Amino acid sequence: MAEAVIATEHAPFELLHLSPGIGTEVHGIDLRDDLSDATINWLSSLLVERKVIFFRDQNLSREQHIVFSKRFGELEVHPFTDNNAEHPELIELHNNRERPPTINKWHSDVTWRHSPSLGSLLRARVIPEVGGDTLFANMEAGYDALDDNTKAKIEKLEAVHDNTTFLNGMIERGASEAEVDAMRAKFPPVTHPVVRTHPVSGKKSIYVNKVFTRYIKGMDKTESDALLQTLYHQAWVPDYQCRFRWQPDSIAFWDNRAAQHYAAADYWPEVRHMERVTVIGEKPF
Ligand code: SIN
């Protein structure tokens, strides 16, 4: 095992940090086991502290993936994605020559929902020989690094998020106008604070993202676009990031309340097949 592995007081688990501020591999754990509440609480705390935690060589069945994920909260059924026929909570992310990857954009999951995700648990089934890494950004660090004027300016602002990205996908796949309108009505735009306070740590982070945030309330479009660009940019700073190289049966569990992620699309036209389960969170404040 790598030298940087740190023994924890929760033996036999060991930790390998991927960068100082975000991302830790947890070794010595088998997620198929009936883990104690103490272990689950410890993993929850580690998630909050490290923003994303990783596990290697976890040959879970789909049921086991779901059972483990449920230990952290209620699971959502995503209304727009390709979900597994037997397990609708499980999103199938298949990319290949005919289905080029499209989520190479920084975002936090489902911020277009009234109560967006606490965290997502992504399992690798088939990965390309090289490429297809996922990058994660610590949005608390991104917030902390803003200058005082910007922090003061955004403190009380709210932004509107919506699911235009998915509605456009429906249109591309030939959905009728009535079908698209029905989904728009079922999932209307939502408003969230631009600066989110983490419900567990109390830390502030930037909670706008390029995929789902449309505009900042009460600002004209030019000013809103400029401010959003400044805030999005904080996810792109390598100092606040880590990068995960997948292997089959790796699992990443990220905290959508404090991190954004980006799935590199550099491997196309190779095959990449992932499965994601998403834990529901609370209304951001
Ligand atoms: C996602 O954005 O939920 C998936 C990330 C990935 O496939 O690496």
CA–CA gap between residue 216 and residue 161 (Å, rounded): 9
Which 3 state secondary structure label does DSSP give 35?
coil
Say how many Å lie between the CA of residue 218 and the centre of ligand 1.
32
pLDDT at position 9? 64
Say how many Å lie between the CA of residue 213 and the centre of ligand 1.
18
The alpha carbon of residue 152 and the mean position of all alpha carbons in its chain are separated, in whole angstroms, by 27
Average pLDDT taken over every residue of the chain: 96
Query: Residues 133-158: what's their mean pLDDT?
Result: 98
CA–CA gap between residue 82 and residue 153 (Å, rounded): 40
CA–CA gap between residue 93 and residue 122 (Å, rounded): 10
DSSP conformation class of 88: T
pLDDT tens digits along 84-126? 999 999 999 999 999 999 999 999 999 999 999 999 999 999 9
Confidence of residue 269 (pLDDT cuts 50, 70, 90): very high
Query: Residues 167-181: what's their mean pLDDT?
Result: 94
Amino acid at 177: E
Q: CB burial class (10 A; 0-12, 13-18, 19+) of residue 92?
A: middle
Query: Residues 29-46: what's their mean pLDDT?
Result: 96
Statement: residue 3 has pLDDT above 80? no
* Residue nearest atom 8 in ligand 1 by C-alpha distance: 263
pLDDT at position 240? 98
| Residue of 112, 241, 261 to mutate, ligand 1, most atoms within 8 A of C-beta | 261
pLDDT at position 132? 98
Q: Which CATH superfamily is domain 3-279 in?
A: Clavaminate synthase-like (3.60.130.10)
Q: Which residues contact 141 (CB under 8 A, 6 or more apart)?
A: 21, 22, 239, 240
CA–CA gap between residue 43 and residue 252 (Å, rounded): 12
Q: Which residues contact 168 (CB under 8 A, 6 or more apart)?
A: none
Say how many Å lie between the CA of residue 215 and the centre of ligand 1.
24
CA–CA gap between residue 132 and residue 52 (Å, rounded): 17
Q: Which atom of ligand 1 is nearest to the CA of 103?
A: 2
Say how many Å lie between the CA of residue 9 and the centre of ligand 1.
31
Say how many Å lie between the CA of residue 105 and the centre of ligand 1.
10
| Residue of 93, 110, 266 to mutate, ligand 1, most atoms within 8 A of C-beta | 93
Q: Which helix (H) or strand (E) holds 159?
A: strand 158-161
* Residue nearest atom 7 in ligand 1 by C-alpha distance: 263
| Residue of 120, 122, 209 to mutate, ligand 1, most atoms within 8 A of C-beta | 122
Active-site residues, by number, are: 107, 109, 261, 276
Give the start-to-end residue ranges of the domains of the chain: 3-279
Cβ < 6 Å from ligand 1: which residues?
93, 103, 109, 120, 122, 134, 261, 263, 274, 276
pLDDT tens digits along 41-87? 999 999 999 999 999 999 999 999 999 999 999 999 999 999 999 99
Statement: residue 137 has pLDDT above 60? yes
pLDDT tens digits along 208-241? 999 999 999 999 999 999 999 999 999 999 999 9
